[in-house]
Structure 1
Amino acid sequence: MGELSGHTQSVEPQPQPIRKLAVVATVISGVAVLGCIALAVWNYNLNTKVNSLTIANASLKQTTQALTKQQNDTEALLGKVKLAANLSSITHLLEQTSVVTDDFVLEKVTFDVTEDGKLKGVLLNVNNQPNLGFGGAYQGYGKYNMSSAALTKKAEEVIDIAMKEYSTSDKLPVWDKNTKVEMTVQNYLLGKRESGTFKLTGQ
């Protein structure tokens, strides 16, 4: 038998540069993975901080709005207090014999003011001077034995004096001829002035 000649196949080792390239690629891949992880963590932390800042900003906005409302409410309240004080002062002035005519004496004045501080109406309650009292032209219950024109003129005189005294202050809401004014005699309605015209009760 002849000898079988064996053929051995040898594996040649990889060149050195290829091995280095593989190592470098592996390292780069690892660094890239770590970078992605770090970036993900950083992004998560950033989103968390942004959310926290958003919540804090919303809370600050609510606080600012609440403080602004409180300040506005306080200013509005102070305005009402000042107005009430000024109205009280002019009321005292008018009732302390500042409004007196030959026929009437103002005893009580009441101001009707709207929520926004405008003068809505005025109520003047007067008493008769002796010449108009019982035994004179006054018949009681707000009725007089005189012409409507004469009585209207006497009533308007009281209103005009009161309005003039009131208008000496610039800290009060406007009272002009268009302001509604009711006038009573001993709490009985005598008449009203509306849109600049005074009308006796029943006219």
Structure 2
Amino acid sequence: MITSGYLQKLLTTPKAKAPNFQIIFWLSLSLAFAVHYSILGFQQSLAQYSVQDDARQHVFWMRRFLDPELFPQDLIADYFQSVAPSGYSTLYKLFATIGIDPIVLSKYLPIILGLITTAYCFGVCLEILPVPVAGFMATAMLNQNLWIEDDLVSATPRAFIYPLLLAFLYYLLRGSLLPCLVAIALQGLFYPQCVLISSGVLVLQVLHRMGRWGAGGDGGAG
């Protein structure tokens, strides 16, 4: 029988004192929830002629990667091809070179993005509130929200904002500058609008630290 004391310890032990298996357990449970929600969403896309609404605009033209003769003089296809971020279109093109239909890829990609998002969300939560069960609760609520909205499931450029923004925040909280810059660069390739947010946050963080160091130096001189 699980005693109340053991249960309290399991739920409230901070990361610094929690054994590795406890952190792994809550992370694994978080990923399991992500898989569960992604399967529910994936089942809706299995129909042969089922295509997510936004994918009908942002993905359909990528069939040109399989057949360059498709959609000749199609202004709509030309427009969505012209506004697609370079990293986003390159990713689909790479898979098209090995024969994977972009429409099919758009149905599987949200599962991978959801798992990456969950892992980084768990990490961000532990950096803010280092209690593993809090990370699980945060990822569970995030996944519930992600899979009832159209962003992640669309596999369009905005689907990449979740893993890339959370990756940036995770490395920012850990004080890792190079991974932060890599995350910002990837945002520029997949969802350029997000670069403004991340760059602004990074600049403010640097200014804050410079101000803190300056205040410390002035205090020492006085």
TM range (shorter): under 0.3
TM-score (norm 1): 0.25
**Comparing both structures, which one devotes a greater share of its residues to strand?**
1
Q: Which has the higher contact order (CA 8 A, sep 6+)?
A: 2
**Comparing both structures, which one devotes a greater share of its residues to helix?**
2
Max radius of gyration: which structure? 1
